[in-house]
Structure 1
Amino acid sequence: MDWLIALLGVFVLAVVSLLLLQPTRYSAAKNDTKRIQIVVLGDIGRSPRMQYHAMSLARLGYAVDIIGYKESDIHPALDSDKRVHIVPIPPWPRKWQTDDRRLFVLMAPLKVIWQTWGLFAAMSYETRPARFVLVQNPPSIPTLLVARVACILRNTAFCIDWHNFGHSILALKLGQSHPLVRISQFYEYAVTKDAPINFTVTAAMARVLREKHGRTGVIPLYDRPPAHFQPCASATARREGFLSLARQQNWPIDFPSSTPPKVIVSSTSWTPDEDFSLLLSALSSYSTTAKTTSLPPVIAIITGKGPQKDLYRDKIAKMEKDGQLSHVRILTAWLSIEDYASLLSYADLGVSLHTSSSGVDLPMKVVDMFGAGLPVAGWDRFEAWSELVEEGVNGRGFGSAEALGELLAKLMSDDGKQLQRLREGAEKETQRRWDEEWDEKAGRIFG
């Protein structure tokens, strides 16, 4: 229990220090009523929803300070908007990152200290006082505590955008019964208790906050695709567009077969809440079936960055060496916002492996796919799935690698009728965009 006592000591020290060292650079009495801070304790470029918040707020005339890690390119509209200011914080050094459970527990206090001071300095000394602070949760530790203290010291409204529950993600690493998970759960709800504005990505998550934690001011704000995700006009245009993008990216897409390959896209953060081995097993099964049938070859493009990417790339290489993917080619890529949107519009099927640590969050990648008119196959064994996908209309669900393999074989068959029907349903999802959803739900608050 020594590590637990040490961690609690770090939290006490951080709270006391933050309360004693009140920022003096700007007076809280001079808060700008048309200024807002958006806080992401993560890579801003890989936080599309918070970027969309920033664009919407800038459209209302707000000066927007986005605080987070600047590791990837941000949306061009933000980069060129003079009302938006990126305030970078120093990331936790890569050499100190670990997947080892024992080392993770030992390094956690040091990481909390590092993040606490970096985030507090950015919120309180490097930016002007704002009327609102909108915080992405998770990560919860130390984001919520630091933001809450900064809001108290600067007389700023503390707002939260709930993407998931931080303690449920921590449980993936440590186990649901671990003491640190229980402490994290208590902390997460205690620190956010008085937040006047709470946005959630699903109605199910809003219900949990209202019924189990007595929250008021909870507003489900669905992810909707922004305007740069658009369907492609025809099958011919999709094929030609994909070939052009493949040449641009130097993707090896040639197959001995004369049958044109089908294109599958999956976007992942390469984290434990997405079991990527499901897709690998399904693609291996598909390849085996394709050897003795008329199924077309498949090109599976996996986009994204994350801690488990190298692990799975090694698995893919071994499967290729062992001949398990003779009718499948798996490519990994990190694309610009524009190229990613184009790829979704060119593909035949999107795949989501998001399993939901809480059961009440949703994968934003599916929203992007629908914005490009791309039908989706996704893991459906969690409560909120039906809020996003209508079974057999715009997508299909699965609950195992075997089920996904069978589903791929059905959808990729030569007649293509099922896939076309799902595409028609997905294209209907393009009718409601982010701006409409945001203006109706958040615009009336911030406006």
Structure 2
Amino acid sequence: MAGVVTALVAVFAVSFIALIVGVHVTELHTNWCLLLVIAVFLAILSVYSFIGCHQGNNRHVCVLVLGDIGRSPRMQYHAVSLSKHGYNVSFVGFLGTKPHEDVSANEKITIIPISEVKGLGVGPKILKYVTKVVLQSLQLLYTLLNMKDHSHVLMQNPPGLPSIAVTWLVCSLRGTKLIIDWHNYGYTIMALTHGQKHPIVRVAKWYEKFFGRFSSHNLCVTTAMREDLLKNWKITATTLYDKPPLLFQETPLECQHKLFMKMAKVYPQFQANSEPGGEDVELTAFTQRRGSTGAVSPAGKRPALLLSSTSWTEDEDFSILLKALEDYEDFVNGGDSLPDLVCVITGKGPQKEYYTKMIDSKSFKHIKICTPWLEAEDYPRLLGSADLGVCLHTSSSGLDLPMKVVDMFGCCLPVCAIHFQCLHELVKHGKNGLIFQDSKELAFQLKSLLSDFPSGEGKLGLFRRNLRSSGQQRWEENWDQTVLPLLTANNR
């Protein structure tokens, strides 16, 4: 009987999503689509007689992201926090990048992989997209219906198409609470490629607005997004700011040296410019140690370590940083007393090859650039070893905040960040970093902050001291105060 029910629900769900897309793409009246929603929902309710109304397991939560688990840090933090409070976690998502060890080695967290589905290989783009949505819906529906009951499903949006509708469907059937964690709006990300008026973008916007209201509760990443959800979509949400977990801290010099020695084997930018002054000397571009048991010290006349991380997507224009580095090079060639730079840009994404070619075309004398992908354990260590962070995240909606800056602040790393609507909720200009508008302003900020390097007495040192003394809240405390009450209240 369960197989029959699964098949019925699958047919309803696939027809539901396909027809929604079809209705909007052909621009029929929205009321027909709403009638379809009601009809499908009533049909789904009719199968309750076959399966009954399940009460979810109060100590079992599903964490869902229709993306790469290893590149979804906030959802990984959710999973770890749930496990620390005794919840068993089913973590559903794509297995691309290796998750952090706190997730992969956690006995209370079970990773349930799903694959990223592609649509038809031929035909119009809209047909490819519709078939992709339908196939992804079938896979997700099958996965969720074949899992144990949960008290809650905590899902990330974006991406929300088709995961919001499918997850709501399963939660409705099982009596499970659905919590949506709004990181951004999916339709604004799609609009970067297709434009605001594209039919698919309009479908995605309607879809997020309509189905977002069916959740039991909503989390979001900024106060600005919370206000926007309420004002424009009548969705009430709780702000859960991204906060750095305890693994993001300043890296001790000994650990810095080990990391630099490791990276120097792969990336020549971390290798020393001069030969070691003896057989028993370990030397990197930044650190040195005499003897295997000797103390580590900074290398003489070392370069400044500039760090940025990215998903290499349209909402980050790295030509701004490259142009600022060209201006910085001109400052040095013009006689300004400034350190050489090693610029590390970490991450994976669709535009990496494009920018790598642009980087390779540069002929800097005082600047070296590398674009590594770091292991999950090495990324916080490198952040904690850097001298200055740069953020080029502009936000497709203007309502989310860059997690990379949160991580940098956890490591007491000052930041230069490009301006957008709600950045002030995180970066306090002149206190923990600087905000710039364009490449010229960024170049002069680099010049100003690094003019007395490596002395810690200037503005860069002031920002770092401010971060150390700020008593910033960590993820664990923030989650316990904000998310845990939602789970326990719904279980009473």
Give TM-score scaled by structure 1 length. 0.88
User: In the alignment, what sits opposite 1:296?
Assistant: 339
User: In the alignment, what sits opposite 2:239?
Assistant: 220
User: In the alignment, what sits opposite 2:428?
Assistant: 390
The CA distance in 1 between the partners of 2:306 and 2:258, in whole Å, is: 15
Q: How does 1:101-140 map to 2 (within 5 A)?
A: 105-125=126-146, 127-140=147-160
Describe the SS at the equivalent of 1:53: helix
1:79 to 1:407, Cα distance in 2 relative to 1, 3 A: same
User: In the alignment, what sits opposite 1:442?
Assistant: 483
Aligned equivalent of 1:178, options 166, 187, 198: 198
The CA distance in 2 between the partners of 1:123 and 1:49, in whole Å, is: 21
User: In the alignment, what sits opposite 2:408?
Assistant: 369
Query: Residues 267-321 of structure 1: CA distance to partner in whole angstroms, max 9, x if unpaired?
Result: 10011011111111111221222222221111111111111111111111112xx
Residue 208 in structure 1 maps to residue 236 in structure 2: no
Describe the SS at the equivalent of 2:321: helix
Residue 264 in structure 1 maps to residue 306 in structure 2: yes
Query: Residues 36-79 of structure 1: CA distance to partner in whole angstroms, max 9, x if unpaired?
Result: 11110000010000010011111111111111101111121122
1:207 to 1:318, Cα distance in 2 relative to 1, 3 A: same
The CA distance in 2 between the partners of 1:186 and 1:111, in whole Å, is: 19
Instruction: Quote how far apart the aligned CAs of 1:376 are.
Output: 0.8
> How many residues align structurally?
431
The CA distance in 2 between the partners of 1:312 and 1:117, in whole Å, is: 36
1:346 to 1:138, Cα distance in 2 relative to 1, 3 A: same
Give structure 1 stretches of 5+ with no counterpart. none
Q: How does 1:244-259 map to 2 (within 5 A)?
A: 244-253=261-270, 254-255=272-273, 259=301
Aligned equivalent of 1:405, options 443, 448, 451: 443
Describe the SS at the equivalent of 1:36: strand
Describe the SS at the equivalent of 2:413: coil
- One-letter amino acid of the counterpart of residue 79, structure 2: A
1:373 to 1:90, Cα distance in 2 relative to 1, 3 A: same
Residue 232 in structure 1 maps to residue 275 in structure 2: no
Describe the SS at the equivalent of 2:339: coil
Instruction: Quote how far apart the aligned CAs of 1:186 are.
Output: 1.3
Instruction: Quote how far apart the aligned CAs of 1:22 are.
Output: 6.9
Q: What is the identity percentage for the equivalent residue pairs of Structure 1 and Structure 2?
A: 38
Instruction: Quote how far apart the aligned CAs of 1:192 are.
Output: 1.1
Aligned equivalent of 1:312, options 355, 373, 388: 355
Name the Cα RMSD after superposition.
3.0
Aligned equivalent of 1:341, options 377, 380, 384: 380
Aligned equivalent of 2:463, options 409, 422, 431: 422
Describe the SS at the equivalent of 1:337: coil
- One-letter amino acid of the counterpart of residue 117, structure 1: L
Instruction: Quote how far apart the aligned CAs of 1:9 are.
Output: 6.3
User: In the alignment, what sits opposite 1:355?
Assistant: 394
Instruction: Quote how far apart the aligned CAs of 1:93 are.
Output: 5.1
Residue 34 in structure 1 maps to residue 34 in structure 2: no
Residue 78 in structure 1 maps to residue 78 in structure 2: no
Query: Residues 351-371 of structure 1: CA distance to partner in whole angstroms, max 9, x if unpaired?
Result: 111001111100111111111
- One-letter amino acid of the counterpart of residue 247, structure 1: A
User: In the alignment, what sits opposite 1:197?
Assistant: 217
The CA distance in 2 between the partners of 1:251 and 1:119, in whole Å, is: 44
The CA distance in 2 between the partners of 1:185 and 1:243, in whole Å, is: 45
Give structure 2 stretches of 5+ with no counterpart. 1-17, 26-32, 275-284, 286-299
Query: Residues 80-126 of structure 1: CA distance to partner in whole angstroms, max 9, x if unpaired?
Result: 222111111111359969xxxx975453112212321221121112x
- One-letter amino acid of the counterpart of residue 219, structure 1: T
Describe the SS at the equivalent of 1:49: helix
Describe the SS at the equivalent of 1:212: helix
The CA distance in 2 between the partners of 1:93 and 1:172, in whole Å, is: 21
Residue 160 in structure 1 maps to residue 175 in structure 2: no
The CA distance in 2 between the partners of 1:348 and 1:356, in whole Å, is: 25
- One-letter amino acid of the counterpart of residue 229, structure 1: F
Give TM-score scaled by structure 2 length. 0.81
